[in-house]
Amino acid sequence: MDFIFRQPQREIDRVFIHCSASSLSSHDDVEVVRSWHKQNGWDDIGYHFYITFDGRVHVGRDIEKTPAAQKGHNVGTIAICLSGFKDDDFTEEQFDSLIDLCQQIHRKIPDVTFHGHCEVSDKDCPVFNYREILGLNDFGQYWNWDKVVPDDVVLFPFTTNNDKRIQARQEFIDLFEEMLRLQDQVTYLLDQARDLGDMIDEL
Asked if residues 12 and 64 have their Cβ atoms less than 8 Å apart, the reply is: no
CA dist 202 and 43 (Å) reads: 48
Specify whether 27 is catalytic: no
Asked if residues 18 and 82 have their Cβ atoms less than 8 Å apart, the reply is: yes
Specify whether 73 is catalytic: no
Specify whether 47 is catalytic: yes
20, 24, 26, 30 alpha-carbon torsion, rounded to 10°? 10
Specify whether 118 is catalytic: no
Specify whether 81 is catalytic: no
Catalytic residue among 18, 37, 58, 115: 18
Catalytic residue among 106, 115, 125, 130: 125
Catalytic residue among 27, 73, 108, 123: 123
Asked if residues 69 and 16 have their Cβ atoms less than 8 Å apart, the reply is: yes
Catalytic residue among 86, 117, 142, 188: 117
Catalytic residue among 47, 81, 106, 115: 47
Measured in whole angstroms, the distance separating CA 97 from the mean position of its chain's CA atoms is 9
Other Cβ atoms within 10 Å of 91 Cβ, number: 17
- Helical ranges in the chain per DSSP H: 30-39, 92-108, 130-134, 161-202
Active site residues: 18, 47, 117, 123, 125
